[in-house]
Amino acid sequence: MQQPLKKLTFFIVSVALMFSGCVRKTRIPVDQQLLPAKDSTREELMQDLEKRSKAIATLVAKVELDVSGGGMKSQVLTEYPKTAGIIQIVRPKQVRMQILAPVISTTVADMVCCDDSNQYKVSIPVKNKFMVGDANAPPVSDNSLMNLRPQHILDALFVDIGPYLNNPHIRSFMEEAINGRVRYYVIDFVDVDDKDTKLLEKIWIDRTNLQVTRKQVFTGDGAVQTDVQFSGYQQLAGMMFPQVIDIERPIEDYNVKITFETSKMQLNGKLADNAFQLDQPSGSELVQVDKSGSKPLRKD
């Protein structure tokens, strides 16, 4: 009897408010209304994500880099001058990123990953250092940007659900979300291999245009490892590609915003045979970073 009584009470209160003149309707301003949203099924979204995952095999591009570090942990944000860079990629694991000094365009840093031994190399001419380390080594430096790894860039630039497909331990779920005026489809990928189910990745799809606008990758304990924002999609080589990719790495405490120069991009072309060859400059200091994070140094 209690449930019908609650319904009756709610009805009586509603009628009383209606006739008391307390009800007021206000039209929401146009600039605050939710944007129109396209509909799609989970199967359609997964098919599109799989297609995107396979669309790009190689990339060469000139970019603008906007780099900052230290704001998430130390509460002291260090912002570096915007600079140019060159990115070369052969998926799934080869990447080279050259960071150039403003105006004079000399190399500030040259990063390569990964060879057959899963190592990365970083040449820093301005410090006369040459770093070699395991791609899976943890961050070791108090300077956030010294923990930047070239494979972090590679992993962030593309949406790739390939590793999840046909894996019996991976499940995917779709949810809907609203942020500001935009409605999203969010695809969650979850590892159910053991008793501790783990969230692996969330891919956010903007329902105004059904483009991927964000991906979040998580560690085994649920911390955000990578948070990437995609924007400024343009048609390039028969596909839609984001011109601005904003990469946040909370664990290493740095942020890299990459803006592509559309006129200087090449997708799925052939790269030079020595595109990923990076040798230690003569006289530079070798810095070796192992999996434990130690940094034994020696002069060559």
Q: How many helices (H) and strands (E) does the chain have?
A: 3, 16
pLDDT on residue 178: 96
Q: In this model, does residue 40 exceed pLDDT 90?
A: yes
pLDDT band at 294 (very low <50, low <70, confident <90, very high): very low
Q: In this model, does residue 293 exceed pLDDT 60?
A: no
Rounded CA separation 208/188 (Å):
20
* Mean pLDDT within 258-271: 93
pLDDT on residue 108: 87
Q: Are 254 and 74 in contact (CB under 8 A)?
A: no
Q: Across all residues in the chain, what is the average pLDDT?
A: 86
Task: Report all structural domains of the chain as residue ranges with CATH numbers, in order of start.
Answer: 42-299 (2.50.20.10)
Say which range, 13-17, 133-137, 141-145, 230-234, has the weakest mean pLDDT: 13-17
Phi, psi of 124 (to 5 degrees): -125, 85
Give bridge partners of residue 227 from the DSSP assignment: 216, 248
pLDDT on residue 298: 44
pLDDT band at 276 (very low <50, low <70, confident <90, very high): very high
pLDDT on residue 181: 94
* Mean pLDDT within 106-133: 88
pLDDT on residue 273: 92
pLDDT on residue 195: 77
Give bridge partners of residue 211 from the DSSP assignment: 206
Phi, psi of 185 (to 5 degrees): -95, 135
Say which range, 21-30, 97-106, 246-255, has the weakest mean pLDDT: 21-30
pLDDT band at 96 (very low <50, low <70, confident <90, very high): very high
Per-residue tokens: 293: 């994070």
* Mean pLDDT within 141-156: 80
pLDDT on residue 300: 40
> Between these two residues, 146 and 172, which has the higher pLDDT value?
172
* Mean pLDDT within 49-78: 85
